[in-house]
Structure 1
Amino acid sequence: MLSSFKKRRDIEDTIVISLEAAHTHTAAHRENWRLGEEKTWNLDQNHGQILFTFADGMQALAPVQIIGTLNPEDEMFTWAWRHPTVLAALQKNALRVKAFGKQHRAGELIKKSVACTEQRAWEYTALAMHLNTDHGVYRAKANNGTLVFMNFGEVLLTHLNPAKLRANA
């Protein structure tokens, strides 16, 4: 009994560390390239990239991994590795969480779908970022209202209007 409690505690401690890292990364992204102020976002599964576009013409492009989706109506989180619309190449981070879950015998990390709050979905996403040493977390709303939770890697910034970029330098 004590051993399963310790494993659970280890998982929760890792999630706390992961959330702290996600908050730190998010704060840096907000300061450096205004994450959260994007006008649009576009997920390209075929190329494994997410593109954020801003009103001033700036774009931020990064490799992306899908961790899972949350249906807000029934609060069911489906892991990317089980989701029928997520390409295999974008499931790697979620699969790493699944392996971590197997190692620690954590049912919620290895079940296809799990009932959870949006906060817990963020925690899963932060854990995936931490285990995979990625650079950020992001949540987007799909057209049908489903929330898509993602990790992204190193961000490349470009600007569509070079004259505007020079004027701001």
Structure 2
Amino acid sequence: MANFLKKLFGGNDKGAGGDGGDRNGDGPTLAEPDLTIARANNEMQMRTQTAINMWGLDTAAWNADLDAGTITFTNDEKGLVVTAPVQVVGTYNTEDGTWLWGWDHPSVSEPLGEHARRVRDFGERYGLNALTTRKIEASKADAWGFTALACHLGGGQGGYSGPDGPALVFMTYGAVTISKKG
């Protein structure tokens, strides 16, 4: 898992050419899959900040309807209701520190595991066991990294994590519809 974290957060010492530097000498050059993972994390940070600024993601209540395939955020402070299609990337068990992928989760229907399956396919392509093993030991930071990658590969608009008993459900969401709270 430590090697995956290094890749996930740009801790790789060697670049695409193996020399550890880029063409300009400014830092490491990232090769696939490192480049995609770094891009996904950067995108997630920007998308999250945009959602916080636009409709108050950080202060909104949430509700996921997995039968309908939607997530709803209600922000009383801003008087807004935001709805979007949802995907379940996986669940993180806070009691034992394990991650269970949405692509093979008993509570996740096949259509809602599509973004998770894209991560599995990416992991298969690049030999990343953390992305292709159904249940693994992981950290909350790993779970966010998996969610960022799922959002990037699936074309999502953002990611969210909400509690469900002792687990945290990590989700991506698509294009949002914003309306005034009635």
| TM superposition score normalised by structure 1 | 0.86
CA contact (8 A) 2:95 2:166 kept: no
Whole-angstrom CA distance in 1 between matches of 2:89 and 2:31: 22
Whole-angstrom CA distance in 2 between matches of 1:156 and 1:92: 21
Quote the residue 1:141 is aligned against: 163
- Asked whether 1:105 is paired with 2:127, we answer yes
Whole-angstrom CA distance in 2 between matches of 1:146 and 1:95: 20
Whole-angstrom CA distance in 2 between matches of 1:141 and 1:116: 17
SS of alignment partner, residue 10 of structure 1: coil
Deviation at 1:9, TM superposition (A): 5.7
Larger helix share, 1 or 2: 1
Runs of 5+ in structure 1 lacking a partner?
162-169
Quote the residue 1:62 is aligned against: 84
* Bigger relative contact order (CA 8 A; separation at least 6): 1
1:16 pairs, out of 25, 34, 38, with 38
Quote the residue 2:10 is aligned against: none
Runs of 5+ in structure 2 lacking a partner?
1-13, 17-29
Q: What letter matches 1:48 in structure 2?
A: G
RMSD: 1.7
Whole-angstrom CA distance in 1 between matches of 2:141 and 2:116: 17
Number of matched residues?
A: 154
Whole-angstrom CA distance in 2 between matches of 1:65 and 1:123: 15
SS of alignment partner, residue 86 of structure 1: coil
For 1:62-108, what per-residue CA distance to the aligned partner results, in whole angstroms no more than 9, with x for missing partners? 00000000001111000001110111110000001111111111111
